[in-house]
Amino acid sequence: VHHDEVEFIVAHGVVTEVDQKRVVIGSRHFLQDDEGIDFAPFLKQIDQKEQEGRTLLFIGFDSRLLGMISLNDSPRSNAKETISQLKELGIKRLVMLTGDNEKRASQVASELGITEVFANLKPTDKAKIVNEIAQSGAKTAFVGDGINDAPSLVCADVGISMSRGADIAKASADVSLLVDDIASVLELKRKAQSTMNLIRRNFQITIGANSAILLGATMGKFSSLTTSFLHNGTTIALLLNAMRLAKK
C-alpha cells in the first residue's frame, strides 16, 4: 500500500496518509484526545487486554478506530537480579517511570522488586518526576534507551543510555553503555564507588604525607632536596595507586 511521508510524533505515535486519508498509529491518548477518534464501541475489549497486562497500540484510519495491536514486552532475564544487587550496593530509592498502562507497569514492577512506579507518563512527566526527586536533595541517575527518555536523561545528575538506544538518547546521556545488558548498570555503579573510594583514600594519604613532610622540613629534619624528593615521590606513588583501578 502506497503511503505519504511518515511523521513521527514523540510520545504519541506516527501519522501518514493513504489515498488522501489520514492514518494514525499510537497510544490511546493520541488517537482519542488529539485525533478525536471514538473508542466507545471497543472499551470492553481494550479493558480486557489492559487487565491482561498488555501494552496497546491503536490504528486509526479516516477518523475511525481500525484496529489494536497487543504487545507483551517481558523484562530482561537478569533485570531482577541486577535491581536486587543495586539495592545491596546502597541505592536507596528505585523508581520505575513508564508510558505503559498502570496494570502492565505494576506487573513488571512486582516481578522486578520495585515498589515505586509511575505509569501512563509522557516524556515531560518523566522529566518532572526526576526533577522533583532531585529537588528533594537526592542524587539521581536515570537509565533509558528511547526517544521519550531524552528529557529525563538530561535532567538527571547522571543519564545512562543503553548501547542500542535511540541516537537522541545517547546524545542526551552522560554515559552510553557499550554492552546492551542491564547488568552493565551494576558494573558502572561498582566502578563509580571504587573510583570515589580511591579518590578519598588518595586525598587522605596526600594530606597525611604532605603534612608529615612539611613538619619534618620545618623542624629541620629534611633538607630541601630530601623534601622535594619525598613530595614528588608521594605524587608518583599516588599516581601508581590510581592506575591500579584502570587495570581491574
CATH value at residue 163:
3.40.50.1000
Average pLDDT over residues 138-160: 94
pLDDT 10s digits, 164-209? 888 999 999 999 999 889 999 999 999 998 888 888 888 898 889 8
227 part of a folded domain: yes
> What do you get for the CA distance between the two ends of the chain, in Å?
55
Domain co-membership, 50 together with 85: no
Residue 56 in grid coordinates: 496497546
Claim to verify: residue 128 and residue 208 sit in the same structural domain: no
| 25 within a domain of the structure (yes/no) | yes
Q: What is the mean pLDDT of residues 51-71?
A: 92
Q: What is the domain range of residue 15?
A: 7-71
CA distances from 73 to 8, 56, 85 (A): 21, 11, 23
From 134, 158, 184, give the residue that closes a domain. Answer: 184
CATH of the domain at 46: 3.40.1110.10
Residue 219 and residue 204 share a domain: yes
Are 30 and 9 a contacting pair, CB within 8 Å?
A: yes
pLDDT tens figures, 1-31: 567 788 988 778 999 999 889 999 999 999 9
Position 157 in a domain = yes
| 30 within a domain of the structure (yes/no) | yes
Residues 54 and 130 reside in one and the same domain? no
Q: Compute how many other C-beta atoms are within 10 angstroms of the C-beta atom of residue 213.
A: 20
123 plus 163 within the same structural domain: yes
Is the pTM above the cut of 0.85? no
Q: Is residue 153 part of a domain?
A: yes
C-alpha torsion angle, residues 151, 152, 155, 161 (rounded to 10): -100
Number of domains present in the structure of the chain: 3
* Long-range contacts, 231-235 (Cβ 8 Å, 24+): 234/205, 234/206, 234/209, 234/210
Task: Assess whether 84 and 143 both reside in one domain.
Answer: yes
Q: Are residues 57 and 12 in the same domain?
A: yes
